[in-house]
Structure 1
Amino acid sequence: MNIAIIGCGYVGCAVAELWQQKMTLMITATTTTPERVPTLQKVAQKVFVTTGNDREGLKSVLENQDIVLLSVGAKGINLYEEAYLKTAQTLVEILPDIPSIKQLIYTGSYSVYGDRQGDWVDEETVISPSNEQGKILQATENVLLAASSEKLRVCILRLGGIYGPNRELMKIFSRVPGTTRPGNGEDIANWIHLDDIVGGIEFARRQHLQGIYNLVDDAYLSTGLLLDTLMAKYDLPPVKWDSKAKSNRPYNAKVSNQKIKQAGYKLIHPQIIF
């Protein structure tokens, strides 16, 4: 089976490492950074340097593929449209010419739910992103879902905040100790460990999942409790909150993971690893 990973960064590279161990899978990876080619050659049989809006480049990548994992990331807040939407549009334009592709798996974000004041949301909730980046992610989902058919199964995984090896929580929040943050810290943090992202993608592949699935852990901690626990663990100055200042966080919701669990996926790390 041939699998193409479009955007072989933190997540894509980890998935490639797993899939490379399966002798029946042949991995093709893409990157926009030529310097990453030697690293990716260790986890993929073929590596292409191309961008998401390069139609001919992507077409060369997709030839004879059976499955596509779209796991891109924006290198800056102003590059979301180029990284996500333009890549999805180019990919969908090419798909009719590549009938061998039977499944497309996309790693999106729960941020598309927007600010729900901490209320529960699930895959049936009408999404309402609160900022421009969320709207671009919403548009990306719509483009990909429109390509779904009896011959092409499109699976969207809405991920929580990503952490794991070399992206530990303390590394993510390294500038936070002793600072004062806007709001009251009661907004909900939805996280997912890299192991479960890899596990969830592999589960989606094996089970031929189609449709939208939230992929977050079971913790549902407030940001305040998360940071209090993290600072205490490393004996660092606690975070203070300024309730008179409005939080600048554009999403706040408890994201249900019941759908993917009911499908049979068992979380490797149901609780946050501090």
Structure 2
Amino acid sequence: MKAAILGCGYVGKAVAQLWKTQGIHITATTTSSDRVSDLQTVADAVQVVNGSDADGIAALLQDQDTLLICVGAGRQANYEDVYLRTAQTVVGALDRASNLKQIIFTSSYSVYGNYDGAWVREDDPVKPATDNARIMAETEQTLLGAATPDRQVGIFRLGGIYGPGRELAKIYSRAAGTTRPGSGHEGSNWIHLDDIVGAIAHAQTHSLSGLYNLVQDEIPTVRELIDRVCQANDLDPVQWDPSQPSARPYNVRVSNQKLKAAGYTFRHSTFEGI
């Protein structure tokens, strides 16, 4: 079994570590030659390639059985370049990737937009509230359009990611002692790194296809979660100003029942210890 990981950052590297222990031959990619030596510790081969490099992507996909696309955009990155063009390049190279039987893509629950806190499932319409979310939704459709009877395409809509090095206390420490706009009533959908890795491995093993929400069971409001994090970590509490409009353009509670029905068991279904 051979797998390529296009975008081997926080999530991709963790998946590579697991897959390598399972005997899967891993080819990892990076856009920076500075990361090659680091990725060589978790992958059998490392390729420096940009998502818009048609020849580079075609070379990557040759002889691969599975492709995991988990590219990430920094705060200043162009989503269209990072996500949509990468997906378009991959799809354009598929006629030269006859062995590829599976594509897995890590998307975001932000594609749902604002449902005023209502629960959403995978068959609910997307209502992107930002340009970035719109591009993510378009990326999903680009990849789903590449599915065939012989090639599965599975897409995970992730919640906010936390885990080792991305602890909630670290994430919210900058908010401690500040006043935030709004009332903090929006749903706070999160997923632990362990479950991202676990769900991707489950998808690879069971050839999952289609859309799957990937968030944990427990979905407090933003206010409830920040209060708990601050109390548990002796941080100054956050105040809220309901007279100001919330800075969050989306408000949903995301159901993970479809993934559970597909046989996945969450390791972190709730926040533990905060």
The match for 1:224 is 223
Query: Which digits, 9 at most, give the CA deviation of each residue in 1:140-179, with x for residues without a partner?
Result: 0010011011011000000110010011111111211010
User: Which residue of structure 1 lines up, in the alignment, with residue 10 of structure 2?
Assistant: 10
CA-to-aligned-CA distance 1:120-149 (integer Å, 9 cap, x gap): 100000000100000000110010011011
Structure 1 segment 123-142 matched on structure 2, within 5 A: 123-142=122-141
CA deviations on 1:61-112 (whole Å, 9 max, x unpaired) are 1110000000001123441111100000000000122110000000000000
* Alignment partners' CA distance in 2, 1:139 and 1:158: 13
1:72 aligns with 2:71: yes
- 5 Å-filtered alignment, 1:122-271, equals 122-271=121-270
Task: State the alpha-carbon separation in 2 of the partners of residues 76 and 167 from structure 1.
Answer: 16
- Give yes or no for contact 1:129–1:138 (8 Å, CA) kept in 2: yes
Distance 1:9 1:108 in 2: 15
User: More displaced, 125-134 or 77-86?
Assistant: 77-86
Distance 2:92 2:77 in 1: 24
Identical-residue share of aligned pairs (%): 49
Unpaired segments ≥5 residues, structure 2: none
Distance 1:144 1:76 in 2: 24
User: Do 1:77 and 1:133's aligned partners in 2 also have CA atoms closer than 8 Å?
Assistant: no
Task: Tell me if the contact between 2:176 and 2:230 (Cα under 8 Å) persists in the aligned partners.
Answer: yes
Q: Distance in 1 between matches of 2:32 and 2:240?
A: 39
Cα RMSD after superposing both structures: 0.8
User: After the TM superposition, which parts of structure 1 deviate over 6 Å for at least 4 consecutive aligned residues?
Assistant: none
Aligned to 1:53: 52
Does the aligned pair in 1 maintain the 2:111–2:127 contact within 8 Å? yes
Structure 2 vs 1, CA of residues 78 and 5 (structure 1 numbering), >3 Å: closer, same or farther? closer
Aligned length in residues: 273
Q: Secondary structure at the match of 2:175?
A: coil
* Separation of aligned partners in 2, 1:140 and 1:57: 20
> What is residue 20 of structure 2 aligned with on the other side?
20
Contact 2:27 2:45 in 1 (8 A): yes
TM-score, reference length from structure 2: 0.98
SS of 2:202's equivalent in the other structure is helix
Q: Is the CA contact (8 Å cut-off) linking 1:188 and 1:222 kept in structure 2?
A: yes
Residue 191 of structure 1 contacts residue 272 of structure 1 at CA under 8 Å; is this kept in 2?
no
